[in-house]
Amino acid sequence: MPPPHPPNPENVNVPDTANKKIPIFETNLTEKPFQTRDATDEEIPLYPHITDKVPLSAWIVVLAGAAERACYFGIIAPWQNYLQIPRQYGAVPGALGLGQSTATNIYNAFFLFSFLTPMGFAIVSDVWLGRFKTLIVGLLVYLLGCLLLVFTSLPVALEHGSGLIGFIWAMILIGLGAGCVKATFFPLLGDQYVQKKAKLVMQKNGELAIIDATRTVQLIYNIYYWFTNFASLVVIATTYLEKEYDFWAAYLLCTSCLCVAIIVLAFFSNKLVKISPTRQNNLPMATKAIICAAKNGFKLDNAKAAYQTSQKGKTVPWSDSFIEEMKRGLMACRVMQVKTPPFFEKSLSLLIFYLCINQIYNNLVSQAGQMNLHNVPNDMIQVFSGVACVIFGPVIQGLYSLLAKRKIPFGPIARITAAFIVCAGAMAYAAGVQQLIYRSGPCYQYPLSCEASQGGKIPNDISVWVQLPVYFILAVAEIFGFVTASEYAYSKAPKDMKAVVQAIMQLTACVASALGMALSLVSKDPKLVIMYASLAAAMGVSAALFFWKFSRYDDREDEMNKTNIQEDVKSTDNCGVSVRDEERP
């Protein structure tokens, strides 16, 4: 075990500043070069925290994930037009002609279904197959859905009435596949970074620094998010294929992207870190522990084996460490599915956030269709959300690094709160755009529906580029919100229940989709201004409640991360981990 500090017989104090270079002659580093080692508890707060190198296996998973997201974003982008607008009607392409309200309802039903399915896959992943095998199974189901959508969107299939039934079955299969990805992908990506302990290193400039595992995982998730948003630019291609050729051509391109994801994972399978499943379903025992806690004052500490033995004379099948892991996981779930003060039954913080973001894929697409498109497909405008994420992603990552170097706290709760505030601004802007549409002719409050529109061919006289800022604002909200939420759920979850905690987080999005279905009742002209304004107000209030309720967790972030790392290291010592030799700690 290396000494706690570099050899220092003269008892020279190590500088307590992160920015001051350490002169070589003041220590005996000239006699023995400094070697990277585990940082002590005293050293961790003294030096700046930096990120480690991203391992090759993480880059492989990121590449596969980007290809899958290219398929997902590309294939759902044309759905609003596909469902809403009749075939060969007006200037906007369509297929099924179900109308905006019904199309939005079906869209939200898909989101609801795809966010419900992760729990089943999470249990399979954590208990039986492991994350990698479960992900491959889900991607194959996903591929079947994409192929079915391609074939049933062919002109001959649409002419024979197969479009709607084919779409429903394809939606089910794609929803199952997407649900599997949501449950397993983020834990698999986080698993690729195997170094858990903080390391003291000397940088090239001679300064000491701490390699921070939490910040490294955060960086990996930010890289993934940047790549997926770059991949989402495939929407440009799919919307033009939809307009110039037909929907089947757009869906075929997306199916090809999914094939790339499957091939990459299969080809590089032996280079990935794979955590062996526990072969034990902890959910029943966790349920019993929660019931036990409820019977003992609703405190999980009272469900611990030591308490039950000393106070109740009972023997329980779980250990005290199991209860501590449950507390960590439930804390992450609590942040993701917020409970509120007594005067609210629920706070809609993350629910409203998901609901606002979902507007990108349905109502904002319809809003663009009511405006002067200048020969640009209305469902292509949403691609600027991805463009903005590509632009702002590195900027925000640089902001995180700058704040960390200057020891300015900006914890996950603060970042998520910032996301909510920015999102509220985006919805307020969307309400303003809708009001401008209603004030413009020729159809004013009923765009594309009056005689002057010539059968839906002439939109209201306002440029679609007025809508553009809403996508840039929402992109910033996504970067602050989704990346942080995913990293938080992974880092705080027990090692054997990471997929389950991710699945629980997706249940929040599921409820948001259900709210979206209820909201579809007012997702029609001339009520859209009220709808967007209501979302903005709800998001703003929820941001304040969220920060009031959970800001204290940021004060305990370092303490919780230390506990998480210790528990993960213990768990790793007791379970099978398949890693490449050069990645072994």
- Count of Cβ atoms closer than 10 Å to residue 565 Cβ: 17
C-alpha 472/C-alpha 453 separation (Å) is 30
pLDDT reported for residue 30 = 43
Decide: helix, strand or coil at residue 142.
helix
Task: Give the residue carrying structure tokens 């199916």.
Answer: 255
- Count of Cβ atoms closer than 10 Å to residue 41 Cβ: 8
C-alpha 491/C-alpha 498 separation (Å) is 8
C-alpha 520/C-alpha 542 separation (Å) is 21
- Report phi then psi at 38, rounded to 5: -65, 135
Which pairs with CB-CB distance under 8 Å and at least 24 residues apart come from 289-293?
A: 289/316, 289/318, 289/322, 289/323, 289/326, 290/326, 292/316
Cα→Cα distances 328→325, 537, 557, Å: 5, 32, 12
C-alpha 474/C-alpha 430 separation (Å) is 11
pLDDT tens track for 342-355: 323 334 577 889 88
Phi-psi region of 15 (alpha: psi -120 to 50; beta: other; left: phi over 0): beta
The Cα diameter of the chain in Å comes to 91
C-alpha 532/C-alpha 426 separation (Å) is 9
Task: Give the residue carrying structure tokens 């940082």.
Answer: 39
Q: Which are the contacts of 382, defined by CB distance < 8 A and separation ≥ 6?
A: 77, 235, 360, 361, 364, 365, 471
C-alpha 500/C-alpha 336 separation (Å) is 13
C-alpha 124/C-alpha 42 separation (Å) is 41
Residues in the chain: 585
Domain with CATH 1.20.1250.20 in the chain: 49-271+347-564
pLDDT tens track for 514-560: 777 777 777 788 889 999 999 999 999 989 988 888 887 777 666 66
C-alpha 78/C-alpha 129 separation (Å) is 34
CB 403 within 8 A of CB 461: no
CB 502 within 8 A of CB 187: yes
pLDDT reported for residue 578 = 44
pLDDT reported for residue 331 = 58
Q: Are strands 199-202 and 37-38 parallel, antiparallel or unpaired?
A: antiparallel
The structure tokens listed for 227 are 């790549």
What's the burial of 300, exposed, middle or buried (CB within 10 Å: 0-12/13-18/19+)?
middle
pLDDT along the chain (585 residues), means of 10: 45 43 41 72 80 90 94 88 78 78 81 81 82 93 94 88 89 92 88 83 83 85 88 86 87 94 94 78 70 75 79 77 67 50 46 87 86 83 85 87 81 90 96 94 87 82 93 92 78 68 71 76 84 93 88 70 55 45 33
Q: Which are the contacts of 395, defined by CB distance < 8 A and separation ≥ 6?
A: none
Q: Per the confidence metrics, is the pTM higher than 0.85?
A: no
pLDDT reported for residue 496 = 65
Which class is domain 49-271+347-564?
mainly alpha
